[in-house]
Amino acid sequence: MRSIGSLAVGAGFFFVTLALFVQGFLPAMIPESRSKQVSRAVRTDLGDVKWVRYDASDYTPLERLGRNIYIREGCWYCHSQYVRPVAGEHLRWGPVSEAGEYAFDLPHLLSTRRIGPDLTRVGLKYGDDWHYAHHWDPRLVVPESMMPSFKWLYTQVRVPLTKTGDGPALSPSPALQPYFTMKPDTQIPLYPNAAGLTFVPPPGNGQWPLDGTPLVDLKGFGDRPPALSVVTLVLPSVEMVGLVRYVQKLGTNRGAWREVFEPQMVSVPDMTIPESDGRRALGRAVYETRCVGCHGAKGDGNGPAATFLSPRPRDFTSGVFKFRTTPSGSLPTDGDLYRSVTRGIRWTAMPTWHELPGDERLAVITFIKTFSSRWKDEKPEPPVMIGKPPKATPVLVARGRDLYQTNKCFQCHGESGRGDGESAPELRDDLKFPIRPTDFTRGQFKGGSTAHDIYRTMTLGLDGTPMPSFADAMSDEERWAVSYYVLSLSAWKDPLTGRPLDVPAGGGSAQAAYPV
Amino acid sequence: MARDAAREALSRNDELINADLVRAWLASGLGWLLFFPTIGVLISTKFNYPEFLGDIPWLTFGRLRPIHVNGVIWGAFSTLFIGLCHYIVPRLTGVRLWRERWSYGLLWVWNVNLAAAVVLLALGGSRGWEAGELPLINVVVTLLGLLQLTVQFLMTIKHRRQRELYVSLWYLIAAFVWTDVNLVLLLLGPYNIPGINNAAWHGLYIHYVVGLWITPAGYVLIYYFLPASVRSPIYSHKLSLIGFWSLAFFYPFVGIHHYLYSPIADWAETIAIVSSMMLIIPVWTVLQNFFGTMIGHWRELSRNLPARFLIVGSIMYLIGCFQGSISALRTVQQPTHFTDFVIAHSHLTVFGTFVVWAIAGALYVWPRLAHDEPLWSFRLGNWGFWLVTLGISAMGLVLTVQGLLQGFRLMAGAEWVESVNAMRPYWWVRTFTGISMDVGMSLIVYILMKTSLAASRASREPR
């Protein structure tokens, strides 16, 4: 090597330029790498799930703000954003990543390390409430988590309590002014945990104040409320709200993929788990590492994270369960509980536990049953047999629409099924906590999202909630008709926003499983 | 002939070196060497104590990690490297550095830029490309600094007295020219290339930092300091040539192996894998050159600290690069990608090899700048050597084991948190290995400072 010139040009430019061309420019020339199209699972108007090719959508300004926070706080050092077609990842996280999903990512956030789980498919896995609890203190909801907390993305306001005839109330404080309009006729109930930590659900756009007066409510603790002299209000900043919006957006360009995600599906077996001390001990261990943050050490739904959560975590001491195959008022079967644990309760803080080994899921169920004496005194009634559904037809769906009107489903669930009916704000569950009717347009059904599931809910009701059984009010066929109609409300819609997609009806393939 | 030229170059030209300038750069480099790796130790404790320093935003894992990574690259390693270049280039060219005083100014700019980067990253100014998080202003200043050095070194080389270019200078020219190009990519890439192609380009960038900056820079050092410290010519000029051109040919292609099994085109991933495997050629070639140079001189290792560090770095390089090459294979990557296996590779190479070589260079040069004052304490230096060596060896081992364990657990369908819990004891060990390396380096810096003090005392006293 004699000349500097040839060195500089040869090594410095020629090879690098060649590599940049082959490995940088050429891959970018492939149309797929620049396409916005992804395969997307959509619900059809007859209740099936189809895969269609569809354009990924851009982030909203609030989601983009959240994405910038995700970059700033280095979330991506521990959370990757791509699902590989190997190592069983499509069974752990969801469908394998496609190029179009990254169309609006600048810079990309694929990441090279998973100290925490991959987040490609985390959108809609948990409710917003879970994320607010999790970022405040991850160990509230995942006791063994090693994620740091992000408390500086919240404002903390300490407010002393004064005793009144109706129990403790927030003392008037100027510190509340930026966060509440203090309009006297609108009450905003807040539910402190035993340590006085009190989450305030933020406005949807993250812009405070909330329109109303905060009201501390300790009824979750029943007859023995904690003696609190001061509470700490926890108010997410707009950055935190944006971060949650961004996280919820992740993966939703693939639409309703979760409806065809095999690992979380459980047919409802009439199953009885054999009880033994060993299994209960394992169940306790599982409960204490997985469930205790929300459901509480006593199983009464008063875990330290409960203040963040709406709906509240299940109170196992009451022995009342929403999602059953057994008649209204009966205990559920073990199979019902197994299904709830495995599938999770969509759009709430209860995640899917399909990753947890089957025997641990079974064991924790035997442990949960130790919280209420109902399990000793009663036996679950036999499951109600559900016949074969009639074939979905446009006529049947139209009939369902009429029945939705005549049976006044709209009073709670709203005219268009958005869960915004006239009486929705007033609804309370049996423990007097506010409860929101399901927004059908998102297709996120807590008890399952097939016509079969909805039919079951209509037939058996949801114990402990205002959702009654319609077994007497409607005939078998009528209930099937309404079920299909309810499903059709989320047809061709985006599960994240509930907004209609621009899909030609009848398009797409009737592929059952998701593409790997 | 090249051998003779090299031998000659190594043994004279002392008067061409600006000792003050080299010392100033090295002192800064040694300071950063104590600072940036320590950040790594600090954040590694968070694996077991996530709430440690938790409520202070600028002390969180997400803010400190880029400071550690960029700091080790541009602070600890590069500052030492640039300082050592100010020693090597005049010796190998036979002329004083071109526009020497520019380097005084640049040292200030360089240090202020690093300090500013620390502050800005702590405040959350990350640009979001791993190993390229530096805020825009810092990228610009780093690029301008390197451009200035490129011009200074090229001009010095142009005016050289030595007609033959010693192999260190080939790598020096290449490292600077390549990295000037790469920093332009960092300047433009993150916010201008949308979609999955952003990841492909980032893969290229990130491996150009290690492959086209740290690697050739490290070769500059060992090709100079190994023959110099054991007083033996380099083993084979032919191997030097093969090593250089195979590196120049294969290294630019490997970047996409960071994102295998992603939606980046399969053929591009395959090219990256093939060239990653081909990297075994330059790696084994240069190592054969280094070990060959030691033939007949292994006894040197008993009292020669720089040579010891250089050889330990070479052994780490053998292990770390073999691990790197095979982990580019798709089958190996199925379990190991996303795990600490990758972190083992990056520490074995960037620290275990290149930072260690830079330490060796500093150990060689520093006493010579202090009027050939002997090392203040060989004993302490020896302790430092062993703490660094055992620390990085144990770290490489424990992280590799962790990666395999977690990777295979996950492939076997383990629940996520379970797979993480199994890592906790190993993370403890990892923190202690880091502390060991830190203490070792502190001892080295300490004895160098003591050596200088002894030298200045000696120069004040009449001999």
The DSSP code sequence of B204-230 is HHHHHHIIIIIHHHHHHHHHHHHHHHH
Residue B3 has pLDDT above 80, yes or no: no
Tell me, what's the pLDDT at B4?
A: 58
Tokens coding B325: 């090459």
Taking residues B239-246, what's their average pLDDT?
A: 92
Q: What whole-number percentage of chain A has pLDDT above 90?
A: 83
Q: Which of A112, A140, A237, A239 to mutate to test the interface with B (most CBs of B within 10 A)?
A: A112
Q: Which of B330, B338, B405 to mutate to test the interface with A (most CBs of A within 10 A)?
A: B338
The class level of CATH for A394-488 reads mainly alpha
Each residue of B177-211: pLDDT tens digit? Answer: 999 999 999 999 999 999 999 999 999 999 999 99
Of B57, B245, B262, which is closest to A110 when you measure between CB atoms?
A: B262
* Residue A369 C-alpha, separation from nearest chain B C-alpha, in angstroms: 24
Tokens coding A511: 């592929």
Residue type at position A431: L
Instruction: Return the CATH superfamily for domain A37-125+243-260.
Output: Cytochrome c-like domain (1.10.760.10)
- Please tell me which residue of chain A has the smallest CA distance to B343: A113
Q: What whole-number percentage of chain B has pLDDT above 90?
A: 89
Taking residues B47-65, what's their average pLDDT?
A: 92
Tell me, what's the pLDDT at A12?
A: 64
- Using a CB-CB distance cutoff of 8 angstroms, which residues of chain A are in contact with residue B342? 112-113
For residues A45 and A505, the answer to whether their CB atoms sit within 8 Å is yes
Mean pLDDT score across all residues of chain B = 93
Tell me, what's the pLDDT at B293?
A: 95
d(C-alpha B127, C-alpha A357), whole Å: 40
For residues A50 and A42, the answer to whether their CB atoms sit within 8 Å is yes
pLDDT band at A1 (very low <50, low <70, confident <90, very high): very low
Tell me, what's the pLDDT at B149?
A: 98
**Whole-model pTM?**
0.95
Tell me, what's the pLDDT at A160?
A: 95
Tell me, what's the pLDDT at A4?
A: 62
Q: Which residues contact A489 (CB under 8 A, 6 or more apart)?
A: A416, A417, A440, A441
Tell me, what's the pLDDT at A514?
A: 47
Q: Which residues contact B288 (CB under 8 A, 6 or more apart)?
A: B235, B236, B239
pLDDT band at A507 (very low <50, low <70, confident <90, very high): low
The helix-helix angle for B102-122 and B78-93 (nearest 10°) equals 160
Residue B88 has pLDDT above 70, yes or no: yes
Q: Which residues contact B311 (CB under 8 A, 6 or more apart)?
A: B290, B294, B301
- B272/A22 CB distance under 8 A: no
pLDDT band at A16 (very low <50, low <70, confident <90, very high): confident
d(C-alpha B246, C-alpha B300), whole Å: 31
Tell me, what's the pLDDT at A510?
A: 47
- Please tell me which residue of chain A has the smallest CA distance to B253: A19
* Phi-psi region at B97: left, alpha or beta (left = phi > 0; alpha = psi -120 to 50): beta
Sign, CA torsion B105/B109/B112/B114: negative
Q: Give CA separation, B394 vs A428, B307, B316, B347, in Å.
A: 59, 21, 12, 11
pLDDT band at A269 (very low <50, low <70, confident <90, very high): low
Q: Which of B417, B418, B419, B426 to mutate to test the interface with A (most CBs of A within 10 A)?
A: B417
Residue B8 has pLDDT above 80, yes or no: no
Q: Where are the domains of chain B?
A: 2-456
- Using a CB-CB distance cutoff of 8 angstroms, which residues of chain B are in contact with residue A356? 415
- A108/B413 CB distance under 8 A: no
* Residue A238 C-alpha, separation from nearest chain B C-alpha, in angstroms: 17
Of A101, A102, A147, which is closest to B50 when you measure between CB atoms?
A: A147
Check whether domain B2-456 has CATH 1.20.210.10, yes or no: yes
Residue type at position B64: L
Residue type at position A350: M
Taking residues A411-438, what's their average pLDDT?
A: 92
d(C-alpha B265, C-alpha A420), whole Å: 46
Which ipTM did the prediction report? 0.95
Tell me, what's the pLDDT at A9?
A: 66
Higher pLDDT, B356 or A13: B356
Residue A8 has pLDDT above 80, yes or no: no
Tell me the β-bridge partners of B416.
Answer: none
- A146/B50 CB distance under 8 A: yes
- Output the CA angle B224-B230-B235, nearest 5 degrees: 65
Taking residues A24-48, what's their average pLDDT?
A: 93
Query: Pairing state of beta strands A154-164 and A187-190?
Result: unpaired
Cis, bond preceding A332 (omega within 30 deg of 0): no
Residue A508 has pLDDT above 60, yes or no: no
* Residue B459 C-alpha, separation from nearest chain A C-alpha, in angstroms: 41
Tell me, what's the pLDDT at A7?
A: 64
- Output the CA angle A318-A321-A325, nearest 5 degrees: 145
Tell me, what's the pLDDT at B373?
A: 82
Each residue of A300-337: pLDDT tens digit? Answer: 999 999 999 999 999 999 999 999 999 989 999 999 99
* Residue A250 C-alpha, separation from nearest chain B C-alpha, in angstroms: 15
Residue A450 DSSP code: S
Tell me, what's the pLDDT at A513?
A: 45
Tokens coding B324: 């790197």
Q: Smallest Cα–Cα separation from A428: which of A418, A436, A417, A438?
A: A436
The class level of CATH for A262-377 reads mainly alpha
Residue A107 DSSP code: S
Each residue of B390-432: pLDDT tens digit? Answer: 999 999 999 999 999 999 999 999 999 999 999 999 999 999 9
Residue A411 has pLDDT above 50, yes or no: yes
Residue A184 DSSP code: T
Give backbone dihedrals phi and psi of B262, rounded to 5 degrees, phi first.
Answer: -95, 175
For residues B74 and B135, the answer to whether their CB atoms sit within 8 Å is no
Residue B11 has pLDDT above 90, yes or no: no
CB contact A358 to B (< 8 Å): no
d(C-alpha A484, C-alpha A107), whole Å: 42
Of A4, A18, A87, which is closest to B173 when you measure between CB atoms?
A: A4
Residue B233 has pLDDT above 70, yes or no: yes
- B343/A113 CB distance under 8 A: yes
Q: Smallest Cα–Cα separation from B246: which of B290, B287, B291, B186?
A: B287
Sort B96 into a burial class: Cβ within 10 Å, 0-12 / 13-18 / 19+. Answer: middle
- A12/B272 CB distance under 8 A: no
Taking residues A460-478, what's their average pLDDT?
A: 93
Residues 267-296 in A contacting B (C-alpha not used; CB under 8 Å): 289
Tell me, what's the pLDDT at B55?
A: 84
Each residue of A231-260: pLDDT tens digit? Answer: 999 999 999 999 999 999 999 999 999 999
Residue A2 has pLDDT above 80, yes or no: no
Lowest mean pLDDT among A114-123, A207-216, A353-362, A503-512: A503-512
Taking residues B275-280, what's their average pLDDT?
A: 96
Mean pLDDT score across all residues of chain A = 92
Q: Where are the domains of chain A?
A: 37-125+243-260, 151-238, 262-377, 394-488
Each residue of A118-134: pLDDT tens digit? Answer: 999 999 999 999 999 99
Cis, bond preceding A500 (omega within 30 deg of 0): no
- Please tell me which residue of chain B has the smallest CA distance to A105: B195
Q: Smallest Cα–Cα separation from B79: which of B446, B359, B317?
A: B359
Residue B463 has pLDDT above 80, yes or no: no
Of B197, B252, B337, which is closest to A19 when you measure between CB atoms?
A: B252
